[in-house]
Structure 1
Amino acid sequence: MKPLVVIGFLGSTLDASAFQPSRWERWRPTVSLVMNEDLRVDRLILLHGSPHRRLAEFVAADIASVSPETRVELRVIDFANPWDFEEVYGKLLDFARGQALDPEVEDCLIHITTGTHVVQICLFLLTEARYLPGRLLQTSPRKRERGPLGTWSVIDLDLSRYDSIATRFAVARAEGTSFLKSGIETRSAAFNRMIDEIEQVALRSRAPILLMGPTGAGKSHLARRIFELKRQKHQVGGAFVEVNCATLRGDGAMSALFGHRKGAFTGAVADRPGLLRAADKGMLFLDEIGELGLDEQAMILRAIEDRRFLPVGSDREVESDFQLIAGTNRDLGDAVARRAFRDDLLARLNLWTFALPGLAQRREDVEPNLDYELDRFAEREGEHVSFNREARTRYLAFATGPEASWPGNFRDLAASVTRMATLSPKGRIDLDCVEAEIARLGRLWSGQAAQPAADLRAVLPAEAVAALDPFDRVQLAEVVRVCRASRSLSEAGRALFAVSRTRRASANDADRLRKYLARFGLDWTAITDG
């Protein structure tokens, strides 16, 4: 049998008694709990407030005298107002998150007989949501019998019936050193340095910020966190307005961004303030700014520099004082060369430019982001889901290895975690679930591999990519993908020549790969830095 740990509050009334031998003639829930012959308690975590420390120590001594095999751990939790639901739930949630409880190692029971009604409800919710991975324990005195012995019963919740309850009270608290990382303890030194710099810039400058990076790298999320950081510091008073410029097309783009006057064109039945006006005193995030037309770019430039612009159909300028964050997954320098993007606008945006790496370039951050996505699932669905040890090891080995390309970056990871958590109704992701998800990702990604030019444009000029035969383009794109997913040239060579190397007496995969890349004017540094 696995060891048993019980978590419960000291009963300031029911457990209290005169410190006399007569106390053994009455039922005390915490002491009586360990006196049941059919319930062996190996560890008792006894929660109590500071004013009841002496009583807690006295009860612990009584437990030691009747059940020496039970180890009592006294934990202090103080509530300013024990009837304040938010305070009680928040402090108990912090306690639960700080416990290293593994249901595969020890069984856990949550004693809800003692404590205030608010405490009992919160313990129920935390157990139901699996923040406390155990079952509820209820004790009571024996009917028509006096004495210290009582009865006990275990409540095994049907967790699927109560999801909406926990969702109402689940509070996700950002942990970690950086607000912009949403409390995620990221391990990439280069990424952490970049985030520290962005944080300094955000708090000390109102100049435009340009976030570059592939789709799904987190540009939108980071832009919103920058806004929330500045709002906390009372540096912005307006709204956060997010615009995906790829959705703005034709005549409607001008109207959507800058507004219009009634009657400016067919269908303009009323004045429209526009998105730039909506961002007044706040922040405007123009995602995929490279998709804007040249006319819109010219007006955006004037709005940034002068805080003024002309709505469609109006002869009077309007003002809007906003800070701009722009996002793009394109090479804007290349767009300028092709005359698809204004060089003066790029020069204005280029003061603070930050390139967000994709997930494949931050494989050491897969594990902390995996935990973050599990917390997000718990917040959304009101159910705490975790991996068993074998399943977690297998998933991380796949997710951090060259086999995982993560073309959708953190969106891919979020979707993957959501699928596994949803398909694990018992709250535990097992090895079979992980293997099924790995196979699913393989099928999804194989359908996206038919567009190799996108990877090649990161390491070769556009004209060099266009000059490649389709055969070479596909092959080289796969080589680039594996290289960028590997930690060294040797590791990439082993992955690329995994079959043929077994048929050779000696294998120098790194040299073989180096010579292949040289045919296209590439080397390891050009690919990994690109």
Structure 2
Amino acid sequence: MKTVAISILGTTMDRRGKGDKRWDKWRPTVSMFQHDDLLIDRLELLFDNHSQGLANQVTEDIARVSPETEVVHHRVNFQDPWDFETVYGELLDFARGYPFKRSREQYLIHITTGTHVAQICLYLLTEAGYLPGRLLQTSPARSDSNLPGEYQIIDLDLSKYDQIASRFQKEHQEGTTYLKGGIETNNPAFNRMIEQLEKVSIRSSEPILITGPTGAGKSQLAQRVYELRRQRGKLEGRLVAVNCATLRGENAMSALFGHKKGAFTGATSDRPGLLMEANKGLLFLDEIGELGLDEQAMLLRAIEDKCFMPFGSDKEVSSDFQLIAGTNRDLAQLAREGGFRADLMARIDLWTYQLPSLKDRIEDLEPNIDYELEVFSGRSGYLVNFNKAARERYLAFSRSADATWSANFRDLNASITRMGTLADGGRITVEVVDEEVGRLKRKWNATSSTEQNAGELIEQVLGQGSADSIDYYDQLKLAALIEVCRHSSSMAEAGRKLFNVSRESKRSSNDSHRVKQLLAKYGIRFEEL
């Protein structure tokens, strides 16, 4: 395989010395060919229109020290050799037009000559793969050496450098461990997700969408992403977190985007708003699906343009924040129904990660129990743990069909907190576990019976599996609507039962129409019930 060097002619360093005295000086381009252990078959020499004479001289000198080397001249004219855009563009054009033959030739990119801008551009083009080779750095010999100079070949494939590669791998492992809260998790899908999220957290400032059921750990994960980015110098601002379900009407606009004094009744002073507070930092909007459409529109512009209009102001302000959004709702379905802006959905759906429920990653239960025990011990000031029999009984129940973990890690946290509080001498006994198991069974049975009754009723009307696509809150409302309609002789009677309070405040009420509209949303006709 032939070796080909690509080099920019050094208009200053390659011109050193007049006549034969030039051989007394170190010249970087010529020096490449004065090493017995560095054999170069061809040199692609780049220079501008004003350097033809020097190029000819260097070519002749190379022929004297390495007659087997072919030198090929290339005219590359930099309008301004210190303008990054111009230099990069010219070198990129050369790289794209050069007929690389990777199967037959290997390439060395000489980065010692040319302006600093040119050297940086050669490095970047090599790193990006436009120049498919390794870097060649030459330098004068030490003062106590008789050598014609020194050289170093640098391969930008860092995976070939064991020490560097292991260091990057260690940092990656530290990052993923941090995102998992130091918990050694065993679920393969969850681990793969966290490994990718670690890379995204370090390399990207684009929005991240975290989905998953309530209690799966969306807020904690957003907190860890922020802290990891701050550790790596990617953020300098603060973390601002808000649950969008708490924002309503004017309060939503004011809380998010700020307001000017006098913008509405009670606005006695200026308010910067959460987006401004998150400048240079991270904004976590939990339950983003609860935002109104007007707030969604303003948020989209704030994400894309980094500017927005505070409520009651006639001047825009800017805030450079990163967004993490959280939701337990199906935003795509909500967008199809008109409850969430499709353009905002598209903008925040670049990096989407769905957190599984505790039940779906039950193999991670035991390390999370240990983590919760450690947290409780730190908070209470004394060490708390199970005795052997108690631990085995709690684990057996936790993995059984009776354990639904409906609130996910919130259920687990509450359970460990209760047992830790009741543990005499810091030892959780079988008796404490049995009492806790009974408490959890009663709680989950009460919840599951309500869910089951509502789900069964809906599936009787809409078909098998239909309840799975409906939020639990909406299931309860729809089940109540179906039940009332089934026990009413007409839509008017059903309406009088359903709207018994609100209908009194209306001058004239059309109860039948309101019931018909609610049923039509799910494609149900009153006669079918």
TM-score, normalised with respect to structure 1? 0.54
Could you tell which deviates more after superposition, 443-452 or 201-210? 443-452
Distance 1:351 1:458 in 2: 29
Structure 1 position 335 matched with structure 2 position 334: yes
Distance 1:372 1:189 in 2: 19
State the partner residue of 1:234: 233
Q: Secondary structure of 1:353's match?
A: strand
Distance 1:281 1:378 in 2: 36
Distance 1:288 1:176 in 2: 26
Residues 175/441 of structure 1: CA separation in 2 closer, same or farther (3 Å cut): farther
State the partner residue of 2:399: 400
State the partner residue of 2:366: 367
State the partner residue of 1:345: 344
Aligned AA for 1:208?
A: P
Report the CA distance between 1:459 and its aligned residue.
7.4
State the partner residue of 2:297: 298
Q: Secondary structure of 2:407's match?
A: coil
State the partner residue of 2:259: 260
- Cα deviation 1:187-231 (Å, max 9, x = unaligned): 101100000011111101000000000000000000000000001
1:1-400 residue pairs with structure 2 within 5 A?
178-400=177-399
Distance 1:192 1:384 in 2: 29
Q: Secondary structure of 1:186's match?
A: coil
Residues 470/454 of structure 1: CA separation in 2 closer, same or farther (3 Å cut): closer
Q: Which runs of 4+ in 1 moved over 6 A?
A: 454-459
Report the CA distance between 1:251 and its aligned residue.
1.1
Distance 2:175 2:195 in 1: 13
Report the CA distance between 1:385 and its aligned residue.
0.4
Residues 462/429 of structure 1: CA separation in 2 closer, same or farther (3 Å cut): closer
Aligned AA for 2:429?
A: D
Report the CA distance between 1:447 and its aligned residue.
2.6
Structure 1 position 424 matched with structure 2 position 410: no
Q: Secondary structure of 1:362's match?
A: helix
Aligned AA for 2:451?
A: Q
Mark the runs of 5 or more structure 1 residues left unpaired by the alignment.
1-173, 475-530
Structure 1 vs Structure 2 CA RMSD:
2.7
- Cα deviation 1:227-270 (Å, max 9, x = unaligned): 00001111100000001000001111100000000011111100
* Structure of higher CA gyration radius: 2
Aligned AA for 2:440?
A: L
State the partner residue of 2:413: 414
Higher relative contact order (CA 8 A, sep 6+): 1
Report the CA distance between 1:375 and its aligned residue.
0.5
Q: Secondary structure of 1:286's match?
A: strand
Q: Is the 8 A contact 1:176 1:183 kept in 2?
A: no
Distance 2:382 2:355 in 1: 31
Aligned AA for 1:281?
A: K
The structure richer in helix per residue is: 2
Q: Secondary structure of 1:426's match?
A: helix
Q: Secondary structure of 1:313's match?
A: coil
Q: Is the 8 A contact 2:175 2:198 kept in 1?
A: no
Q: Is the 8 A contact 2:222 2:284 kept in 1?
A: yes
TM-score, normalised with respect to structure 2? 0.54
Aligned AA for 1:451?
A: E
Report the CA distance between 1:448 and its aligned residue.
1.8
Distance 1:460 1:375 in 2: 37
Q: Is the 8 A contact 2:175 2:228 kept in 1?
A: no
- Cα deviation 1:37-68 (Å, max 9, x = unaligned): xxxxxxxxxxxxxxxxxxxxxxxxxxxxxxxx
- Cα deviation 1:475-499 (Å, max 9, x = unaligned): xxxxxxxxxxxxxxxxxxxxxxxxx
Report the CA distance between 1:442 and its aligned residue.
1.0
Report the CA distance between 1:451 and its aligned residue.
2.9
Distance 1:283 1:315 in 2: 26
Q: Secondary structure of 2:240's match?
A: strand
Aligned AA for 2:320?
A: D
Q: Secondary structure of 2:353's match?
A: strand
Residues 459/176 of structure 1: CA separation in 2 closer, same or farther (3 Å cut): farther
Mark the runs of 5 or more structure 2 residues left unpaired by the alignment.
1-172, 460-464, 484-529
State the partner residue of 2:436: 437
Aligned AA for 1:397?
A: A
Residues 271/421 of structure 1: CA separation in 2 closer, same or farther (3 Å cut): same
Residues 427/458 of structure 1: CA separation in 2 closer, same or farther (3 Å cut): farther
Distance 2:359 2:266 in 1: 47
